[in-house]
Structure 1
Amino acid sequence: MEKPEILSPAGDFICLQAALDAGADAVYFGLGTLNMRARSGVNFSPDDLPEIAARCRTHGAKAYLALNALMFEGETRKVADLIAAAKPYVDAVIVADWGVVSLCKKAGVPFHVSTQMSVSNAEAVRFVAAQGATRVVLARECTLTEVARIVRETGVEIEAFVHGAQCVAESGRCLMSHVTFGKSACRGECHQPCRRRFVVKAIDFYSDGKGNPVHDATTEFEVEPHTVLSTKDLCSLGFVDKLMAAGIASFKIEGRARNADYVATCTRAYRRAVDAVADGTYTPALAAELTRDVSRVFHREFSDGLFYGRPGADQFTSVENSCATTVKRHAGIVRDYFMKAGVAQVFIQDHELRPGDEIQIHGATTGVVELTLGELRRDAERPAVAAKGTWVTFAAPRCRVGDKVFYVEKREAK
């Protein structure tokens, strides 16, 4: 069975390196505008393109640029310039606007049709392929049976989301944020009103002629459950074998606004799952283990998405916040690293550290390093605790000056 591509999100260089180190075959990223995470603050600039390409090529991975927001009149030159700047460095551009399709074709840049285009049937797949699309990211509303049929009937390369947040709207094409906050999801500016609490208040239809209500009511009712529009996250680790059997060419992990720990953990889990299916060692026990692994990082309640029916009978979460079983507390910053000794010197700025603590070190070149602390040293001392305002050294894998150090705190699963 041919292995699908593991396609991971990259919001910055830390996430990019974390994805590559964890086994991603490809990454997707934005350049600060005209993509579905434009407001998140986790985007690169055009000046970063050579470094992105160099890192991906070193790891034998592909790089895809997300230009999957709507393009308005007057933005054509700006988008054309972005495509021209990206052309030498990316393997394809992810698009959701026919104008951007036209610009990619004029520039001779391969393009993938985004899930934002809501391609949900074989006829639509054949049509966009005829327009030059080299890959189609199917609408998230497609069931597993439909995905397999589309792959079989079209022969077109198909990508599908396998993990991460889901939108309550059709393929993410939602106007709630636009109406409520004046920030459109279709422009990558979603303020996620669907994740918020809702209050109901009675409004009197009758007034006294001066515009005052006849029967004024101040009572308000909070809608329960308050997650009435908040969907569960997708986790496909329990049926990766079925997704591979369906012939999906690329497994996409959502999360360009998530941190590097999330990227590394999810990429590593799907890498292991895909490899296990390919070599015949994928089992329910392994799937359960990997699901526990990804439960460590940010997620809402997990579901099978819409792969087994739409709308999902159990689609909405009952928990308002993250269900992660760990949380990171900023501890300090790497001040030096002694290559020959394999020792890091860390200045403690916030959370104290002790031997036996689980920590992570994050850096733009380092990516994500995870370790359990051994002995702490401070010159001739062997402190039992590294308190705020002090420095210590400890054995650690390669890291770099300026890298951030986090204490990993365990939490009970929700």
Structure 2
Amino acid sequence: MSGEGKVVCVTGGSGYIASWLFKFLLERGYTVKATVRDPNDPKKTAHLLALEGAKERLRLLKADLLEEGSFDAAVYGCEAVFHTASPVSLQANADPQVELVDPAVKGTLNVLRSCAKVPSIKRVIVTSSFAAVPYSGNNLAPDVIVDETWFSNPAVCVEQKLWYQLGKTLAEQAAWEFAKDNRMDLVTINPVFVVGPLLQPTINHSVEMLLNLINGAQEYPDAYYRSVDVRDVAHAHIQALEIPSAGGRYCLIERDLHFSEVLKIVHQHYPTLQLPEKSGPGLNYLTKYGISKEKAKTLGIDFIPLEAEQIDPAVKGTLNVLKSCTKVQFVKRVTITSSLATMAFSGKPVTPDGVFDETWSKKYPDAYYRPIDVQDVAVKHVQALEISSASGRYCLAADDLHFSELLKIIHEHSPHCSFLKSE
């Protein structure tokens, strides 16, 4: 099936999955309407506008997930809508219901309500997550096979404090209820950790998980890493539209590996890297069990293997620079800008895949803010070169302020601004 002459909408235009979805849709001849928070922000849109066919067949439109009716113009005249955006954050600072659950459900329903107003829309494909699948309360063991009939139980998520999983679960449940009530043709794509090459300028959280392991972590988690390539996820979305018989949910996974096995693959590709050698604590949401691929096979996806692509986005950029430096005899020292994150997270992975937007918090966290001025960081880079005895790692922090103190400083400079309330 060719997309020539067909118009589709993709929400969350600057995201990891959405970027590849744009690329493949444009290659197939579709005209694509993309929603972003700020169409004039080149950091969010430059990589999209550079895609082949974008000049002729890509339109960027402003929309806000949490504003009802915001997507009316974007979906008008479309044959299909891909809802990839999600306001779900990785952590809840105070109230998970307010910060994670309500925005996830409201954002999904706002998009679907806009779709329900347009008779030309034949199918809606929602990017859900595997996080909405396995936490049903049933036993998860090595001999158990999870498939699309499983649905995470909100009560189990609350009991185990799996707030990300709770948000994803309730958002998908709300989507299915809305689709049933409005006779909407709905398909959900439920990928595990999404990995692979990047089109957008920022890394996604599944790749960041690997970065934390290779950037100085002392331990790897005693848990299982389930991955699928972003290009397979994007293709699955398109197949879910173009195959008339497609319907329901599709769990996407290439394989699952213990983190120790993932590190073996990293070592095979990059034997000079210093990797953690001992196992740390386990993770209750990443235990060993099987996942069925049977329904995903009906979409015709030939999954890209883990070894081929996953490691590159996390490592290759840094190593390419270092390899170039080794070819130049007069380079005496190389200074790399790392991050305190390589120590703060100690190899413990963040929550599963997702597409995130700039949802605002209504309260400031009961936490501490440790800033450093960019000018100081730049000066320290220069000094790391010029001081002959400099070596190793240097942690930079100018101050240690509670967020309440930080807001007082901002208020002194900008008293006209309205500020967040305390938790």
Give the TM-score, by structure 2 length: 0.29
Structure with max Cα Rg: 1
Task: Return the structure number with greater helix share.
Answer: 2
Give the TM-score, by structure 1 length: 0.30
Task: Return the structure number with greater strand share.
Answer: 1
